[in-house]
Amino acid sequence: MKITLMRHGEVEGGAKYRGVTDDRLTAKGLIQMQQAVEGVEIGVVWSSPLLRCCEFAEPLGDVEIIAKLAEIDFGDWDGLTYEEIVKSNAEKMALFHQQKYTPPNGESLREFKQRVEEVWLALVERNEDILVVTHAGVIRMILKIVLGLKFQKVFNFMIGYGCLVVLKIDTNSGFVQLEQVKNL
């Protein structure tokens, strides 16, 4: 069984903390996603409900929109750039990366991990190849869960626009193999 995790492409509005902000893909972002799935066998598709994912996923066929695949809710930081946040919240940003701070009106990393872990378990239970169209944070959290990493280490993964991460699961033993990482 293979689970292919795909990050959405470039989004309108530029680089910023975009959790629940529901921006659309740019034309370049759509092309990035199309190029990423070239040669990928697509059967079952699960997608985040946010436009930057589901607008690409829906034309692929029978798509299940999974609310728990949405990006982490950055609360009051949502829509701000890293520089804007650090300018007035450098210490809080460092604490956020250590799982010791939640942005006001946001989702804690602990809550986010629990939500993503529920999705991961549901994916494995399906016992079939699935393309998951989602976000960098969700992909990082799945890698954290699978690899048993500390929260601080998950931010070290570069998950670019249109990135594919292919995980192969041995259904007999439960072993997970990181088969491929494809950044455009």
Model pLDDT for residues 6-62, shown as the tens digit of each residue: 999 999 999 899 999 999 999 999 999 999 999 888 889 999 999 999 999 999 988
Q: What is the pTM of this model?
A: 0.94
155 or 71, which is more confident? 71
Question: Can you give the pLDDT at residue 178?
Answer: 86
Residues 6+ apart with CB under 8 A from 59: none
Question: Can you give the pLDDT at residue 74?
Answer: 97
Give which of 159, 161, 143 is closest to 151, Cα–Cα: 143
| Backbone Cα Rg of the chain | 16
Residues 6+ apart with CB under 8 A from 167: 2, 3, 4, 5, 142, 146, 176, 177, 178, 179
Report percent pLDDT > 90 for the chain: 76
The answer to whether 107 and 75 have CB atoms below 8 angstroms apart is: yes
Q: Mean pLDDT, to the nearest integer, of 80-97?
A: 92
pLDDT at 173 over 90: no
Widest Cα–Cα separation across the chain: 50
pLDDT at 184 over 70: no
Q: What is the mean pLDDT of the chain?
A: 93
Residues 91-100 have pLDDT tens digits of 999 898 888 9
CA distance 95 to 72: 16
